[in-house]
Amino acid sequence: MDADTFEEQKYVDYFPQLQQAYKNAFNRVNETYDSTLVHGIDQQILNESEPFYDDEEGFYLELPEDPYDRLTGVLVDEEKFEAVLDEYVEEIERELERVFDA
The pLDDT of residue 101 is 83
Residue 28: the pLDDT is 96
Q: Write phi, then psi, for 25 (nearest 5 degrees).
A: -65, -45
- Average pLDDT of each block of 10 consecutive residues along the chain (102 residues)? 90 92 96 95 95 94 96 94 97 95 71
Domain residues of the chain, as ranges? 3-99
DSSP secondary structure letters along 1-56: --HHHHHHHTTTTSHHHHHHHHHHHHHHHHHHS-HHHHHHHHHHTGGG-EEEEETT
**Count of CB atoms within 10 A of residue 101's CB?**
7
